[in-house]
Amino acid sequence: MRLEPPRPIDQAALLLSVVIPCFNERATLAEVVRRVRAAPFRKEIIIVDDGSTDGTREILQELAHAHPEVRPVLQPQNAGKGAALHAGFAHATGDVVLIQDADLEYDPVEYPVLLNPILEGKAHVVYGSRFTSRPHRVLYFWHSVANGVLTTLSNMVSDLNLTDMETCYKVFRREVLAQLELSEKRFGFEPEVTIKLSRLEGLRLFEVPISYDGRTYAEGKKIGAKDAVRVLFVLGRHGVVDRLLPGRRR
């Protein structure tokens, strides 16, 4: 199916669905919600708790009681970031869906920059890139090397020229997101959604620069080497095998 060209969206009429997957984020969840609520745009905040055991669920229930725009979704057990996003997407009712991590690495102050290409009718999807010209915290060298390698491999199989495939900040017109059948339950979500977006005829995908304040592992960072291996598997499965065997595409 070919996508219709994007049309401008009236900001006053826009409903933004912010989907926040979280797992053991009691230290940051309340502050993230405060920042999301302070960002412009009329919004619903869908927080999917992925089986937290550190008190995150109790904080989430308090936030939902205090703020009617906060909608909690409780996963029965930990199933992974991708699975939490699938659950959040299923509850989203807004015109535009934005992914927000529950830590403080990505700042909701960036929402106007992220939404602008969609509001102006230029884009169906927007990715926020950590590797362009905005400020970012200086951290792990080999993480940046791995990210660059995985983004390059993703670009090779998707024929896109992204600079940051693994970014959290991905923003979708909801009708475009609804056309994707997604299956990856953990960090393989990032390459899978990118590859499947690239196959939508007529897709207009923009990247915009964002700031980034990364965490150390001591501060709660969760992604690791095994997740990079899974990304390679997903790139091979969805990017190569499915291209050679079109009947396998979903």
User: Is 54 domain-assigned?
Assistant: yes
Name the helix (H) or strand (E) containing 177. helix 174-177
pLDDT at position 135: 54
User: Is 1 domain-assigned?
Assistant: no
φ, ψ for residue 7, nearest 5 deg? -115, 150
Q: Using an 8 Å Cβ cutoff, are 121 and 8 in contact?
A: yes
User: Is 9 domain-assigned?
Assistant: no
Answering whether pTM is above 0.75, one says: yes
Give tens-digit pLDDT for 14-40.
Answer: 999 999 999 999 999 999 999 999 999
pLDDT at position 201: 95
Distance of CA 222 to the CA centre of its chain: 15
The share of the chain scoring above pLDDT 90, in percent, equals: 70
User: Is 182 domain-assigned?
Assistant: yes
Q: Which residues pair with 74 in a beta bridge?
A: 49
Tell the burial category of 93 from Cβ atoms under 10 Å away from its Cβ (0-12, 13-18, 19+). exposed
Give tens-digit pLDDT for 202-241.
Answer: 999 999 999 988 756 465 555 656 666 776 777 777 665 5
Q: How confident is the model at residue 76 (pLDDT cuts 50, 70, 90)?
A: very high
Number of Cβ within 10 Å of residue 178's Cβ equals 12
User: Is 56 domain-assigned?
Assistant: yes
Mean pLDDT of 83-91: 98
Domain membership of residue 74 as a residue range: 15-248
CATH code of the domain in which 87 resides: 3.90.550.10
User: Is 4 domain-assigned?
Assistant: no
Domain total for the chain? 1
Q: Using an 8 Å Cβ cutoff, are 41 and 67 in contact?
A: no
User: Is 2 domain-assigned?
Assistant: no
User: Is 170 domain-assigned?
Assistant: yes
